[in-house]
Structure 1
Amino acid sequence: MATAQSRLERRETEALLEERSGLEKHCCHCGSTAVRRWGKTRTQLQRWRCSDCGKTFSSATGTLVERVHRRDGMAAVAKDMMARQPQPCRALAAALGVDKMTVWRWRTRLLAALGDVGQSGLKGIVEADETYFRESRKGSREWVRHQRAPSRHPKPPRLRWRDYDRQGIPLPRGLSRWQIPVLVTRDRGGATAANRLRSTRLREIAQSLTPRLARDAMLCTDAAGVYRTYANRTGRAIEQVNTSLNQRVRANGVYHIQNVNAFHARFKEFMQPFRGPATKYLDGYVAWMLMRDANAQSSDGANPIFVRAL
């Protein structure tokens, strides 16, 4: 029964690939329209050959599923990424009958397809606020290399997070370079954008906000001075609420940042089962969360992550 289900999913995946590609009309190498059928691939996709450049291709050529033999498994990973609670790599690998590292590679490849997720042209009242994630070097071998060869590998700049508890060392308090900021902007229509910042200085804030906001958009932020400075220098209207004084809303509930803070809460809840993924993958997780949030109420049967991978 499992084999029949796997075959059905594979046929559905290949059909979606052929439907979405449209590569039979031109060569993906040189752009020529002088193409003809040239047999089948090992996964039974139609292969094409260009009469001008002599190269062959299929509907998978040039996509993120190129050279992936278990495309049905990759589609299952994409489906799991949009589930209410995504499974850990080990559990999903056991269900698919593959190695856990295979699932991890598929997931990272799908995350690469989400690099430009997020909306621009936010209009009306646009809430902006940053949230922070603890810096993580999960998978790094820096401490192992240092212990094996201290003369060749310098001591890492901080202890592993678990060592703070084990050795009874106080954790760094407040905001520091070990807290990675993620700026989230969201208008009242639900359009959202987010990205990781290198710092919360004016230059970084300006580079993140300016491409996203419509010309007549009004900013609504907390009382951080960097947003006021940005608004003054760009001539943009801004309203601020002082959350440190327990001020949540102003002007009879018109001005607040509760929508963006609610997104922060959903984001933190989504990240919790992953137990602090490595910071180098944080951009991918931000895009993943944006895709999940944008399609939370979608009734379209096509998986938006797998479609982008094609």
Structure 2
Amino acid sequence: MSVQSGVVALEHTRFEQFRQDILANATPEQLIKLILEAQTELRTKTVKALTAMRTLALSESRICPHCSGKSIHRHGRDANGRTRFRCVGEDGCGRTFGVLHGTAFHRMRKPECWVPYVEKLLEGLPLTRIVEAGVGVSRHTAWRWRHRFLSVLSISPQPKLSGIIEVDEKYFPTSYKGSRGWKRGDPPEDRPPRYRGSGALKRGLSGEQVPILTAVDRNRNHLNRVLGVRTVKAVLAAMSGALEPQSVICSDAFQGYQKLAEATGSAHHVFIPKKPTPEEKAVGLPIGREGALGLGRINSWHELMETRFNRTHRGVSTARLPSYLTMLVSIHGERLQPEGAMKRVMERLVAPRPRSSPTPMRN
């Protein structure tokens, strides 16, 4: 046995003895206190570990985010103990920057709140319940952090859909939630303000509604695209490169899906909902549909989408739809964990953000 392995075994023995003493002698109040302190320390170490990974990546690449020079060196630490860098050399710009510069965490305060906040965000909680959970941030900060994180997660690579793929659209009324145009006298649309739950003024599908193109396969891969209008050209552009060739596409009779199947060399199955007659309802309707194909998964996804957007968040602004679609996929599609989400956010470089943000509305 080497010296290093002997030290590891000794530390393990001490930890086991320490753990058994705590379980045998600690009171319930002491155990609860220990659990809370351990959770806080674990969250802090998660942030420190991600910051250390970012520091190591910068030290190896030595690329300046300001001028793209390749001669940066460590330049002390900031007030939180995180490493700072400086661009030096003949072609260097001489500017200094922190290890989080260029990430969504740049200029974010309260690092001890990042992990618990992301945990509540991935639970899909509305802002009020996030604040009530004791995360440690105000409602306005929770709103700003939500869209800061989601805007970065939304640029993640989109996995290709394959196998049996169900495709359809979901429509939501055009919403300018948060806009003060009607108050200022320059409304974004020539119509009276639409209050929560009132819906569109015209019946059926019209220009007052925004289509969201959605697709899901049997491997829990999802695609969601906000379209300006549902046309064949728009559908083909939104689905370009997102489907594996030789797949099976299940959809309604819209011509764009037939063109999509032809472009990808895929089989196309059309499903038209049948409206049951009163006589059929009286004798009872069959459960499900015969065969393995159908639109059950995409219909369930649309129901989940409507529940999240219209009930949990009390309506979503059209401008914010891509962010909320990202949150929906992260929670119910990828089932992303807080540590994985923070790691992905830390690795994505974004443009510097302004210090101020619009005032949030209730949701």
- TM-score (normalised: structure 2): 0.71
Q: Which residue of 1 aligns with 2:195?
A: 162
Per-residue CA deviations over 1:238-278 (Å, capped at 9, x if unaligned) read: 1111114569977x412211112222122222222111121
Give the counterpart of 1:281 among 320, 327, 332.
Answer: 320
CA contact (8 A) 1:218 1:238 kept: yes
Q: Which residue of 1 aligns with 2:298?
A: 260
**1: CA distance between counterparts of 2:296 and 2:157?**
19
CA contact (8 A) 1:93 1:99 kept: yes
Are 1:137 and 2:171 matched, yes or no?
no
Q: Which residue of 2 aligns with 1:121?
A: 160
**1: CA distance between counterparts of 2:252 and 2:73?**
60
Q: Which residue of 2 aligns with 1:70?
A: 110
**2: CA distance between counterparts of 1:63 and 1:170?**
39
CA contact (8 A) 1:132 1:181 kept: yes
CA contact (8 A) 2:54 2:100 kept: no
* Unpaired segments ≥5 residues, structure 1: 147-152
Quote the offset at 1:170 in angstroms.
8.8
**2: CA distance between counterparts of 1:129 and 1:273?**
23
Quote the offset at 1:136 in angstroms.
1.2
Q: How does 1:58-97 map to 2 (within 5 A)?
A: 58-83=98-123, 85-86=124-125, 88-93=126-131, 95-97=134-136
CA contact (8 A) 1:241 1:249 kept: no
Number of matched pairs: 295
Quote the offset at 1:154 in angstroms.
6.3
Letter in 2 for 1:18: A
**2: CA distance between counterparts of 1:170 and 1:186?**
28
Quote the offset at 1:283 in angstroms.
0.8
CA contact (8 A) 2:232 2:255 kept: no
Quote the offset at 1:159 in angstroms.
2.6
Identity level (%) = 27
Structure 1 residues 11-20 or 155-164, which shifts more?
A: 155-164
Per-residue CA deviations over 1:27-79 (Å, capped at 9, x if unaligned) read: 33355664443221111102233432233333211111111122332333222
Q: How does 1:81-230 map to 2 (within 5 A)?
A: 81-83=121-123, 85-86=124-125, 88-93=126-131, 95-117=134-156, 119-146=158-185, 153=186, 156-162=189-195, 171-230=201-260
Structure 1 residue matching 2:230: 3-state secondary structure: coil
Q: Which residue of 1 aligns with 2:30?
A: none
CA contact (8 A) 1:27 1:57 kept: no
CA contact (8 A) 1:182 1:194 kept: yes
**2: CA distance between counterparts of 1:115 and 1:18?**
24
The verdict on how the C-alpha distance between 1:248 and 1:144 changes in structure 2, with shifts beyond 3 A counting, is: farther
Q: Which residue of 1 aligns with 2:344?
A: 308
Structure 2 residue matching 1:113: 3-state secondary structure: helix
Q: Which residue of 1 aligns with 2:50?
A: 16
Quote the offset at 1:235 in angstroms.
5.1
The verdict on how the C-alpha distance between 1:175 and 1:102 changes in structure 2, with shifts beyond 3 A counting, is: same
Quote the offset at 1:171 in angstroms.
4.0
CA contact (8 A) 1:122 1:214 kept: yes
CA contact (8 A) 1:43 1:69 kept: no
Letter in 1 for 2:193: R
Are 1:290 and 2:329 matched, yes or no?
yes
**1: CA distance between counterparts of 2:188 and 2:155?**
36
CA contact (8 A) 1:127 1:221 kept: yes
CA contact (8 A) 2:117 2:135 kept: no
CA contact (8 A) 1:202 1:226 kept: yes
**CA root-mean-square deviation:** 3.1
Give the counterpart of 1:241 among 268, 271, 277.
Answer: 271
CA contact (8 A) 1:38 1:47 kept: yes
Letter in 2 for 1:44: G
The verdict on how the C-alpha distance between 1:24 and 1:176 changes in structure 2, with shifts beyond 3 A counting, is: same
Quote the offset at 1:292 in angstroms.
1.4
